């Protein structure tokens, strides 16, 4: 296992560290594709480093949580954050028989959705036995006799056996920043349509880059697997001399939670309103396919469109 610790653009060399032996050496390069990803947010909350508090960002993280559940047999859990990871974690813990609560600072789960659409998810979570504590943040964590207590800003004290933090990510930009590459306003590495950075011999892809929102034209961060996969292919094409471009992201995402599947793409109403972008909205309630075929499920769809172009 090796890690690039520095890029010397003036001589086109990188410092490499062997993570097993500790050995360091230099390697020359013609082109670089950077994919450092993102790291989970970990705010300076008192007690956040206590045992039984986990982040969930990658497979080793999930292995640690699974091992804890297998060995300790927790009875209750608190999930901090009601986004994709928090909701999927809630489902998995409930399936394992763990009584689960979600604490979300906003007044809804799934911030990529508008409030009335997210309410379907809140109702479904409640139906499955998950407590949703909305509009409340975390003040501190404490631990006594191996048992955690999550103290919220509104005065709740939630006793539990484990807590999972899923409060978002930030781009891992240290290497790019120290190498003198241009960083965008949102903290991501600035790239063009070919995924080139401010250095034409260095490309960057994935959760660490800022790209263009295909709907609005604004710069955005989209830490999702789909765009990262596409960007990697585009960067490889351009390194090999085949010019292809990334036309922007729609931020398309799908999450399955118990018996409910929720998807979103493009901008939501909050974003359109905040940026004074004109829109009209349509609500549709229909079957997932023709009703005379078995297995049709009712869908609720909220659709935005431009009043000038449709």
pLDDT, one tens digit per residue, over 75-120 is: 999 999 999 999 999 999 999 999 999 999 999 999 999 999 999 9
Helix, coil or strand: residue 241: coil
d(CA 167, CA 41): 6
Q: What is the mean pLDDT of residues 64-69?
A: 96
pLDDT in tens, 291-308: 889 998 899 999 999 998
User: Looking at the domain 40-169, which fold is it?
Assistant: FAD/NAD(P)-binding domain (3.50.50)
pLDDT confidence of residue 215 = 87
pLDDT at position 285 over 90: yes
Q: What is the mean pLDDT of residues 175-180?
A: 97
Rounded to an integer, the average pLDDT of 216-240 is: 94
Do 80 and 165 form a contact (C-beta atoms < 8 A)? yes
Residue 58 has pLDDT above 90, yes or no: no
Residue with tokens 């939630």: 158
CA distances from 137 to 17, 101, 252 (A): 40, 13, 27
State pLDDT tens for residues 76-86: 999 999 999 99
Give all strands of the β-sheet with 209-212 in edge-to-edge order.
189-190, 209-212, 219-220
Q: What gap in Å lies between CA 143 and CA 141, rounded to an integer?
A: 7
In angstroms, the CA 291 to CA 299 distance is: 12
Q: What is the pLDDT of residue 216?
A: 87
Start-end of CATH 3.50.50.60 domains in the chain? 40-169
Helical axes 84-95 vs 115-127, angle rounded to 10°: 10
Q: Using alpha carbons only, give the angle 106, 225, 231 rounded to the nearest 5 degrees.
A: 125
């Amino acid at each position: 296992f090796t890690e690039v610790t520095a890029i010397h653009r003036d001589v086109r060399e990188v410092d490499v560290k062997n993570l097993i032996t500790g050995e360091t050496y230099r390697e020359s390069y013609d082109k670089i594709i950077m994919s450092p990803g993102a790291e989970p947010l970990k705010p300076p909350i008192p007690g956040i480093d206590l045992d039984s508090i986990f982040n969930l960002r990658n497979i080793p993280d999930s292995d640690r949580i699974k091992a804890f559940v297998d060995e300790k047999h927790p009875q209750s859990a608190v999930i901090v954050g009601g986004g994709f990871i928090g909701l999927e974690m809630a489902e998995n813990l409930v399936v394992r028989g763990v009584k689960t609560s979600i604490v979300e600072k906003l007044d809804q789960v799934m911030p990529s959705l508008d409030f009335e659409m997210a309410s379907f998810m809140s109702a479904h979570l409640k139906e499955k036995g998950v407590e949703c504590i909305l509009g409340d943040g975390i003040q501190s964590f404490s631990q006594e006799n191996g048992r955690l207590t999550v103290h919220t800003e509104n005065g709740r004290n939630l006793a539990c056996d484990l807590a999972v933090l899923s409060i978002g990510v930030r781009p891992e930009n240290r290497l790019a920043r120290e190498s003198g590459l241009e960083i965008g306003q949102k903290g991501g590495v600035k790239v063009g349509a070919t995924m080139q950075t401010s250095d034409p011999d260095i490309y960057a892809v994935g959760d660490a880059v800022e790209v263009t929102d295909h709907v609005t034209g604004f710069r955005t961060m989209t830490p999702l697997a789909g765009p990262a996969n596409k960007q990697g292919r585009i960067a490889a094409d351009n390194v090999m001399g085949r010019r292809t471009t990334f036309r922007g992201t729609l931020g398309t995402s799908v999450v399955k939670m118990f018996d409910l599947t929720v998807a979103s793409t493009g901008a939501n109403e909050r974003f359109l309103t905040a940026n004074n972008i004109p829109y009209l909205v349509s609500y549709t309630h229909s079957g997932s396919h023709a009703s005379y075929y078995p297995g049709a499920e009712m869908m609720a769809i909220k659709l935005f469109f431009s009043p000038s172009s449709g």
